Structure 1
């Protein structure tokens, strides 16, 4: 007896309504650069697609998932243009064993998210044309990703996106590097050009490159034309600058918050925070807040924070930081920054605020910025409302997840006394 094909059976049998569970689950599409085939269905590991072209051409719906096999290598870009919803995002994740799937390619950015409500995890973007991950949409999340060898590990032009628990290393290429013109640019771990984004729990290293204009350049997190971004609980090592802020004329970079970040560097030149007043070509940058950060930059050519070309309390507010440098712990002009509750070492080119002191904070080591017993940072911090930390409910927590009590310590770590 001749067996009927699946297609024939489907044409003569009555349709079975989808259950609520199956409707919610969406479809998972598999991609394997070694054993896949773009002519396959893509809906199982045994019938995986081979290239990102198949993913880019797919009509993805809310709730769908793209699963990239670990150990695979792809030529980008991966274009994520569909729109998920907050309740049913579209996901990109890994499956199998081995190293993260790697996307590279010098002709384009490697992962381009133009859609909304994507969840991208466990993926590496390496040596791309400009950005490893470019996020233009809204409500997207990168988690557990890696980016290396790019001009920008992550660039965000959209809003309400999150980058968390990721490793952005050696994004040390310049996009502009010409002698003269004061316009060199590049070597960004994260470049924020959008508003209301969250950068949290990441490790960012090696954003540092030779510059014809500046000698060296680079930033772990650069904000240019971005408002109300929250940068919190990140580890920064051996970057040129932790953060530098600016805006084009007619645009703003207002209300950005930096909290509970740990910044160290063995570089001969480094800084924590650089911002500008109205006298600068990319100023004024208004309403920047830096609270409970721990910084150790021992070389001579280093700066803790710099607020120049018309600094004022409306430009920069600092609370409860521990900033130790071999150069200038802080620098201000104009009316000066609004500063208090902090511990400094280095040259202080600013007026110390209430409860701030110049003293040895007694870090555990050059790379471990927890406080040893007897540190002057213990109990020194001023209690702050949630608004200082970008809002939110409950007590703020230090970089290890410990809640701040009624007499908090300065810096990113609470001593647990």
Structure 2
């Protein structure tokens, strides 16, 4: 695929309420090299030095904290204040050079306990568990970076209506549980969603995998566990173990999650696009998952497009307008099977019933890395017209390159 810059991708995404709304607060500055916590902090020449100073500051709605590029910190940043929808508290970069970096295995790097923060221009690397932990409501991560964590971004069970967009989550490749037996290894998440109604859009997520004693390797670009109505759209996924895996504890739910307009490729020897479960599984049932307009290319033999097992049914998984090429199994279902239609598959084998407009054929991708469609592709014009509820709302009704959907759409993440 032709990779777009984060800035270009951000421009293609729907507008999100943010700091563009009038800021009337105070701007504080932080510089790990030349700062002084005894200074006023209200100018670059009087910048603060430490994260502790930021965490203890009496920040108000509309305030801004500017981190100098090139700064480096080895303790965590905990944000407990709250902004408002009209006046979020903003974190942003200033100066030139690399993003300010927060690292250190003694703490999670950035922990957001408050509401209505807009955080950009930070890198969280090699943290205790997560790079960014979001536990509040109405927060936005935009243009951040996270690497070498167990989870690049972790939205806790109390985190809802948050947005993670236009960010780069790379090689979050550590396990939190990795022991012999028990079918319980866990870790290596680009994004882990335990909360509800969050939006993950326009991100580049790569290298989410790690060695596992139970599974050989494990990891996911976006893992959803006990989270409802999350929308995962317009993301670029490369070389992750799985794009998404869903589960729920007994007594909990992971209902109504949507995956749309994502581009998923991998050169790894194994991998999958989507894994979900029915009621007979220990972390099932996962109900109402929807996957539409995704383009997937996983050429290795030990790969699978999607799996809906331990009691699959149309109420468990619905798929429309996808293009999935794998070297292994296109899809797998048991029970009553998934509700699948209007897609193109190419694989060595498949264990599911094709929908009326789905076909097994070469979709004619431009190349192994460019999943646009060449002339004559059977995916052209194959899609069904879908209402906005299928892909997460009217504002998200564009392909991954920002083109509006035509009346008769193509299958896959790209439209002509």
TM > 0.5 between the two?
A: yes
Looking at structure 2, the residues matched to 268 and 355 of structure 1 have their Cα atoms a distance apart, in angstroms, of 30
Aligned to 1:197: 198
Aligned to 1:301: 302
1:74-128 per-residue CA deviation (whole Å, 9 max, x = no partner) reads: 1221111101000000001110000000000111100000000000001100000
Residues 294 and 369, structure 1, Cα contact 8 Å, conserved in 2: yes
After superposition, where does 1:305-384 map in structure 2 within 5 Å?
Answer: 305-346=306-347, 347-384=349-386
Residues 23 and 63, structure 2, Cα contact 8 Å, conserved in 1: no
- Aligned: 1:83 with 2:82: yes
- Aligned: 1:232 with 2:228: no
Q: Partner of 2:328: helix, strand, or coil? A: strand
Aligned to 1:12: none
1:348-372 per-residue CA deviation (whole Å, 9 max, x = no partner) reads: 2100001100000000111110001
Residues 76 and 111, structure 1, Cα contact 8 Å, conserved in 2: no
Residues 276 and 308, structure 2, Cα contact 8 Å, conserved in 1: yes
Aligned to 1:281: 282
1:246-302 per-residue CA deviation (whole Å, 9 max, x = no partner) reads: 001110000000000000000001000000000000000000000000000000000
TM-score normalized by structure 1? 0.93
- Aligned: 1:126 with 2:125: yes
Looking at structure 1, the residues matched to 276 and 320 of structure 2 have their Cα atoms a distance apart, in angstroms, of 16
Q: Partner of 1:25: helix, strand, or coil? A: coil
Looking at structure 2, the residues matched to 406 and 141 of structure 1 have their Cα atoms a distance apart, in angstroms, of 32
Give the 4+ runs in structure 1 shifted more than 4 A. none
After superposition, where does 1:262-281 map in structure 2 within 5 Å?
Answer: 262-281=263-282
Higher mean alpha-carbon deviation, 228-237 vs 76-85, is at 76-85
Looking at structure 1, the residues matched to 210 and 194 of structure 2 have their Cα atoms a distance apart, in angstroms, of 21
After superposition, where does 1:173-212 map in structure 2 within 5 Å?
Answer: 173-212=174-213
Aligned to 1:169: 170
Pick closer, same or farther for the CA change 1:40–1:306 going to 2, 3 Å: same
Greater C-alpha Rg: 1
Aligned to 1:386: 388
Aligned to 2:13: none
Q: Partner of 2:380: helix, strand, or coil? A: coil
Aligned to 2:25: 26
Looking at structure 2, the residues matched to 74 and 238 of structure 1 have their Cα atoms a distance apart, in angstroms, of 29
Structure 1's unaligned 5+ residue stretches are 1-22
Deviation at 1:53, TM superposition (A): 0.9
Q: Which has the higher contact order (CA 8 A, sep 6+)?
A: 2
Residues 67 and 92, structure 1, Cα contact 8 Å, conserved in 2: yes
Looking at structure 1, the residues matched to 253 and 168 of structure 2 have their Cα atoms a distance apart, in angstroms, of 28
TM-score normalized by structure 2? 0.93
Deviation at 1:391, TM superposition (A): 2.6
Residues 60 and 83, structure 2, Cα contact 8 Å, conserved in 1: yes
Pick closer, same or farther for the CA change 1:32–1:253 going to 2, 3 Å: same
Residues 72 and 102, structure 1, Cα contact 8 Å, conserved in 2: yes
Residues 179 and 213, structure 1, Cα contact 8 Å, conserved in 2: yes
After superposition, where does 1:239-278 map in structure 2 within 5 Å?
Answer: 239-278=240-279
Aligned to 1:149: 148
Looking at structure 1, the residues matched to 105 and 68 of structure 2 have their Cα atoms a distance apart, in angstroms, of 22
Deviation at 1:392, TM superposition (A): 2.9
Deviation at 1:383, TM superposition (A): 0.7
Structure 2's unaligned 5+ residue stretches are 1-21
Aligned to 1:103: 102
1:282-335 per-residue CA deviation (whole Å, 9 max, x = no partner) reads: 000000000000000000000000000000000000000000000000000000
Looking at structure 2, the residues matched to 75 and 86 of structure 1 have their Cα atoms a distance apart, in angstroms, of 31
Pick closer, same or farther for the CA change 1:356–1:56 going to 2, 3 Å: same
